[in-house]
Amino acid sequence: KIPGFREPFTSLLESNPWMRPPNPRKPLVWGPQPQYGRERYWDTTVARKHEYWKDFDLPKPTKDLRQLRHDFLEWGYCLIEDGLSQEQYRGMKSRVVEQAQGEKKAGIPFDNGPGQYVMSLVNKGDCFVKCIEQDPEGVQAAPVIEQLLNESLGQGWICTSFLANGCDPGGYPQNLHQDTNGENGPFRAHWEA
């Protein structure tokens, strides 16, 4: 039994000790760690350079809906080429940075250890309203995204979380987790973006 963890995490961490989250009160250790038989999960690189992943044909950005479906079913994710226009990207990024700085200045940042969360984005700018509503004015690939979500989750799905995760240099990685929605009982899927 691993203190502080419940199934399925207990058995997962027993079988894969290298996935155990770091102690935030201790320095973050990089490089090979003999007690785990390998590096820890945060000590990694891009897939094309990674010892394990470099030989896999991982998803690449595409506009081909058949390929997007295949990648999503095979890998659990897909990459939509030009999902945002440069203008949409710059607008959302600058709005997140501006909001994060404003929350810090106001003394109300939500610090999560690795960085700062900016919560409830739908309340923090028109660009985020357009994003959550799958409006092509806010996200040019919105029709494709909505179609993929409808196909995988069914019509009428609801996004229950919309936030930005900041990752500060030298910040500690998040531990493996699954956010849950506000309802009791089973749910089909959870998306984090």
Per the structure, the complete domain to which residue 119 belongs is given by: 57-170
Q: Is residue 181 assigned to a domain?
A: no
pLDDT tens digits, the chain, 193 residues: what are they?
555 667 777 787 888 887 778 877 888 887 777 777 777 777 777 888 877 788 999 999 999 999 999 999 999 899 999 999 999 999 999 999 999 999 999 999 998 777 899 999 999 999 999 999 999 999 999 999 999 999 998 999 888 889 998 887 777 777 766 666 555 444 444 444 4
What's the pLDDT at 182?
A: 55
Q: What's the pTM value of the predicted model, to 2 decimals?
A: 0.76
As for how many domains the chain has, the answer is 2
Q: Answer for the pair 188, 153: CB distance below 8 angstroms, yes or no.
A: yes
Tokens 């470099």 — which residue? 54
28 plus 86 within the same structural domain: no
Sheet holding 110-111, edge to edge: 110-111, 116-118, 164-165
End-to-end CA distance of the chain: 32
2 and 36, same domain (yes or no): yes
On whether both 93 and 111 belong to a single domain, the answer is yes
User: Per the domain annotation, does 155 fall within a domain?
Assistant: yes
Phi and psi, residue 143, nearest 5°: -60, -40
